[in-house]
Structure 1
Amino acid sequence: MDNCRFESNSAKRGGAIFSDADHIFINNSDFFQNNADNGGAVELNDGTIINSNFNLNDAGISGGAVYSNYYVLIDGCTFEDQFAGDGGVLYCLNSGLVQNSLFEHNIAFNNGGSIFFTSFGEVYSNNFTDNKAMFELGNSIYCNNKLFAKNNFYDNETNAIFSNRTYDFKAVHVDGNAAASGDGSFRHPWESLLLAIENCNADEAVFMHSGTYSGPAYSSLNIEKYVNIFADGEVVIDGNHTTIFYIHKGANIEGITFKNAYTEVYGGALWVMSDAETVLNNCKFIDNQARFNGGAIFCEGYLEVNDCFFSNNRQSMQDPGGADSSTWGGGAITGTYPLSMLLLRILYLKITMLLKMVEQYRQEH
């Protein structure tokens, strides 16, 4: 659909357009004073809307301009003076990506003055001005799950975002059932974590879709640059009796379950190298085993572990013998990071912060 104008149309669902097709494409079109219960201008299952303008559309329930039942991509659009119960502009029953768009003077009677995501959402390089959620949960954006928000501008708005968790990254998607020709977007995710990491930039995070991942792409994987890896729902990496990750530079990993990993040496699931700084949040380690050290994790570098669960992990060599046998152990975690190094690191950070404060004081005076 290209270069169309829809004015003063009304319906119960999708005031101007209702589509239950697999995909609808809308380009360079105008929507003015349309109304419906859901989707004041448009209701769709899966769609793309680009370079279009929406003015004075309203929905009695959800999605003053657009209501999406599955996924929508919005790029380069303008939304002014929309109104709805939830999601003054957009209500996504599942997920969506909104980028390079303008949102001005939109209102939700309940939550999400401009955008309401019931699952995860992606919002990049948008301008939000004077949007309002009457209950003040997300004057610009309300997200029930994880929100990736990067390079957005919020003018004259307090409480702009309400979400379960907000990440200052762009998402690079991974799905084990994806086609090999993926590009890391939601619709065309990478088929393996290795491909996602190789193609991930510093301002991006790997977002693994729900499922169990196993096979060569998840065995003895060398992570040679700092990477953020987050889970969408229940994500399980099955090591199939090999070490899963060798972390060389560091990682921030959240919500992943590591299981059934094994090594003849150190770190059944993870081996954190000496130069690596690694943070684990809400992860699980189940049925992992190392022969000598660290049934689940062996750490030579810096490791921070928060809200994680460890069950039935083992260091299996019970009577190793030899001169170094006294240092072998750690059914779940073995750490060799020297205390002196940790204290020096803390001291260095404190000195750096103090120098920055002194420099700031000099500049201000």
Structure 2
Amino acid sequence: MKPCLRLFFAIVLATAAFDAFAQALIRVPSQATLQQAIGNVSDGGVIEIAAGTYPAPAGGFIIFSTQKRFTIRAAAGATVVLSGAGSNILHFSNSSTTTGRPVTFERLTFSGGNSNLGSVGGAVTLVTADATFVGCTFQNNAATGTDGGGGAILSQASSVFIVDSVFSGNNARRYGGALGISGGSRATIHNTRFVNNRVNLPNHFRDSLGGAIFLLDSELRFTNTRFENNQAGFSGGAIYSFGSWTTPANMLDTTIVGSNSTFVGNRLQRDPTSPAATPTTGGAIQAEDDVKIYLHNTRFSGNSATQGGGVATYRSIIEIYDSTFRDNVATGNTGGDGYGGAGLIVSDDQAAVDGSINRQNGMLFIRNSLFQGRSSGTQANARYGGCIAAVGDTVRQFGNPPVGTPAQNRAILDIADSAFVSCLVTENGGGGVGGAIMGQLIDLSVERSIFLFNEARRGADYTGGGGGIFIFSSSTANIQSTTFARSVAGFNGGAIAAIGSNLDVSNSNFIDNQMTAGAWGGSAIYSSPQDFGAPLPIVDATGLVQNSVFTGNQGGATLLEYDEADGPFNRIRYGGNRVFPDDANFFVNAIAPGVQTAAQLNGLVLHGASKAPAANQGLSTAPVVAGMVTAPRGVLSTSAAGDAPAPVFSNLAYAFSGGSGTLNGAPGATTAGFASPAGAGIHTLTVAGETFTSPVVNAPVPATALSLAPPDAATGATSILSWSAVSGTFLEHMINEGVGRSLAATGAISLGTVTGTRTYRGLVITREGGAVDAARLDVADTLIFKDDLESP
């Protein structure tokens, strides 16, 4: 017998034995075209493609409202390229969520796709679809339309599950160089690389957004994923996210959860052919409006923008845990440039858009993380806020008339158990404040942290304030159990400068901070009321500095207060502090007589109140105190795709006073230092017989398990899918094939009446990263074999 000369298809069995549960298989190029194979494949079948390049037809291969689930994959060991050849490659859409079934794509390369339509992605378009991509490559695809987005994949109201894949060299004119995700879509990504994707090629849109990923009113999850050298022209060098305000609130859930991932070298850079826009924001990630982002064990290195070199939030919420920021930069020297080398918070409403509604302020929560400004020769991280710049809703607070109270309009910056090391701001055309943190109209909370080697350099004017922290304009700061060491300011406030704000400090250490030559003073703290003129209000300086240690601070008075007899007033008080050396250069107030020792400060009365609610103590010898932070908390045994092999280590920052130090058993430790990498164990600092410790653990390795009972079933029968998080600090479970998202650690679901063989893939998302497991349900089909051949 021989095949007839006309077009034919052959469905053969996936196993040598003719098992009733075998998966039907269609081979290409036995089919005349891949499109014909898509039409002919059975429910639960597989289209297997031989090695080669397969050009897409005009308009791309089409999957539309098909009532069958199936897989398209490369044959074992084969390199299969689906080529756009100037056209988009695949359009997978359903008229509604009930008219289609999930489709899986395995080991395919999507290359050279192009779309000049705003509603079509460069390679793949998903509309109300459920797609899984495993081991796929998307390279050199483009969305070039006037409003082009999603250079590789454009997802509208769809679910996309991506594992072990690569997105490289894709671009779009306006948004989402690799992925454009909108309309309530859900994107889940594991062990994938995004490299050199762009939305800033010549003639890009003025507001080009999301060099790798654009997210609008949708959900994104990524684990063990690397974002490298992606670029945008306006906002979100790697990821841009936007959540629409709704009534009632939270009708749309725009959230991002990421863990054990890396952002390196992403940046914002306009092409000269594109119209200039406002300062660029979010070198790696930008969140805007009703968005919530949760990042765990994520690393940011060498990202840049003119504002927020690493991450930026505009009226959104970002929570960061066990993460590392190094060498991120807010570039530029004029106007609104140079804010927040690693992070930025902005909260201003826009009256023309928001009307009378006072929107949520920007919020940034940081736990167990490292912010290192200069680890590899970076000269400066920013002009304002070397690591973080935060600004509240100044439009509402200082408008005419003001709307709301300072408490309602402050941005939130909440930090605990973290280290800020070697962050630098430098003046150029006006600036240079807040070596580590700068805040205007903010609510700042810092606990159990360390600020080490930070610097605010002085420029031509009265800049160079707050080597560690600079706050002003009705801000509040509550700082507890935190160490400031070896920080430097060029004008005032070696560790902290607070102007027109409330400053509360307790149980903290100020060790060897200093002012540079010719500076005004306040080697530890400078404070002042605020009278900058309209529209900024006149504000007293208030607060309480208590139960803290000041030792070895140099360059002018340790505590320097600017004050005025007829107001506004400096009402900050000091109680229960210990001071070394106790000399006449400890405390200076601009309207108090002379300079004060600790004992003299205890008796000082200004503005009708004692400056010392409890006695401060002068010391004759340096006290034994220390601060030590290890961040992140654990050593990871897995890393992101494309990163150096694990382990991923922790870091150690420390400072001490009062004697010689022994660090982890090695004598002769310098009085302040930074050690990276830091391995697992109890890190120990011993100073004059006193011991200080900080632990680092071996973090668990993420794992999950999926199972089916029974693992095979007849058409019309059912099965139970079960899942369980085996290890890792659990966050969420995500399972493809329409099973669910944000699932509990352990659960089970009846699959109902089943038709068609399918493979379920479950991703467990933990603080330590992700892990995938798969379970295949074999479903018997009445069609076992059809050869469609004819005799001669």
Greater CA radius of gyration, 1 or 2? Answer: 2
Q: TM-score, normalised by structure 1?
A: 0.48
TM-score (norm 2): 0.23
Higher relative contact order structure (alpha carbons within 8 Å, sequence separation ≥ 6)? 2
